[in-house]
Chain A
Amino acid sequence: MLVNEFLILGALLFCLGVYGALTRKNAVMVLLSIELILNSVNINLLAFDRLNGNSEGSVFALYIIAVAAAEVGVGLAMVLLIFRNRRNISLDDLSEMKG
């Protein structure tokens, strides 16, 4: 198999995730798109792991999975807090930090 099959698939999923993160208004949907991005990166890491044959890509993929789990936990807690204070989670309304 060509390594490019995996790399192009990873690039496509990454760009889909970027598109989703930029267009979505709902904070949970933005987090979903970020998960898509992290998954595409993992595909790349494991393809290169197979190509180089030294198993280090697997280690980094596992680390990324753990970081993604931490990110989702904190992210959803923040979304929940925003929802509790404002009754909606539209990111366009969160403009207090704009100068």
Chain B
Amino acid sequence: MVLASDIQVAQNIGFGIIALLMLLAGVGVVASRNVVHAALSLVLVMAGAAALYVLLAAEFVAVTQVLVYIGAVMVLFLFGVMLTRARTGKDSDLNNKNAPIAAFVSLLLFGVMAYVLMKDYSDTKLPNNGTPTSTKTVSDLIFKPYLLPFEALSFLLLAAVIGAIVLARKD
């Protein structure tokens, strides 16, 4: 007998709405003729991803996603759009002639991935009663077993900041 709590109706409806929104916004990112509209569609995709992280009970990653992606990276993108383009309206010269080949490649890629996923995970369920991933657990992992990658990442960010300044300054 299948219990209602096993199907998780509310979570599935929420997932469906978020996933539909993300897919529509994703098509907007790759198909929009307007650079600013594409960037704002990407905001919608990132917000949807943050909502999915909450659904997956990874609260710290969801908050970081909102702070870093929607807060910082998108501002950087909008600055990039405005500094490199005089006009922000429609632009017919945004795509190159590879569209059929690119569509074929990405459809093939999706076909392969969907085949593998359906083959191996078609009836794997997410655990129903797991506790949320607490910030304490994540920080314990980052600062104990994954300390060296964390330091390497800090160094990468430092190098990126210095590199960006050196590249972008006027001299």
Q: Are B153 and A23 in contact, CB atoms less than 8 angstroms apart? A: no
Q: How far, in Å, is B121 (CB) from chain A's closest CB?
A: 5
B residues less than 8 Å from A81 (CB atoms): 167-168
Q: Which chain A residues numbered 24 to 60 have a C-beta less than 8 Å away from chain B?
A: 24-29, 31-33, 35-36, 39, 42-43, 46-47, 49-51, 53, 55-59
Q: How far, in Å, is B154 (CB) from chain A's closest CB?
A: 9
B residues less than 8 Å from A59 (CB atoms): 138, 141-142, 146
- The SS class assigned to the A binding surface is helix
Interface size on A, residues (CB 8 A): 70
Q: Are A18 and B106 in contact, CB atoms less than 8 angstroms apart? A: yes
Residues A72 and B77 in contact in the complex (CB < 8 Å), given A23-B96, A56-B141, A77-B163 = yes
Asked if B103 lies at the interface with its beta carbon under 8 angstroms from chain A, I say: yes
Q: Are B23 and A12 in contact, CB atoms less than 8 angstroms apart? A: yes
Residues A28 and B81 in contact in the complex (CB < 8 Å), given A8-B117, A39-B46 = yes
In the bound assembly, the distance between CA atoms of A35 and B74 in angstroms comes to: 10
Indicate the size class of the contact surface on chain B.
35 or more
Q: Are B84 and A74 in contact, CB atoms less than 8 angstroms apart? A: no
Q: How far, in Å, is B32 (CB) from chain A's closest CB?
A: 9
Q: Are B73 and A49 in contact, CB atoms less than 8 angstroms apart? A: no
A residues less than 8 Å from B85 (CB atoms): 28
Q: Are A16 and B126 in contact, CB atoms less than 8 angstroms apart? A: no
Q: Are B121 and A7 in contact, CB atoms less than 8 angstroms apart? A: yes
Q: How far, in Å, is B79 (CB) from chain A's closest CB?
A: 7
B residues less than 8 Å from A20 (CB atoms): 29-30
B residues less than 8 Å from A13 (CB atoms): 22-23, 26, 45
Q: How far, in Å, is A10 (CB) from chain B's closest CB?
A: 9
Shortest 5 CB-CB distances between A and B: which pairs?
A20-B30, A22-B102, A70-B160, A77-B167, A77-B164
Residues of A within 8 A of B (CB): 1-9, 11-20, 22-29, 31-33, 35-36, 39, 42-43, 46-47, 49-51, 53, 55-59, 61-63, 65-74, 76-81, 83, 89-92
Question: Beyond the given A2-B121, A62-B60, A63-B149, could you list 4 further A-B residue pairs with CB under 8 A, ordered by the A residue number?
Answer: A13-B26, A16-B29, A19-B106, A62-B64
11 pairs from A and B in contact (CB 8 Å cutoff): A9-B22, A9-B52, A12-B26, A17-B26, A18-B105, A20-B29, A47-B126, A59-B141, A61-B61, A65-B61, A76-B80
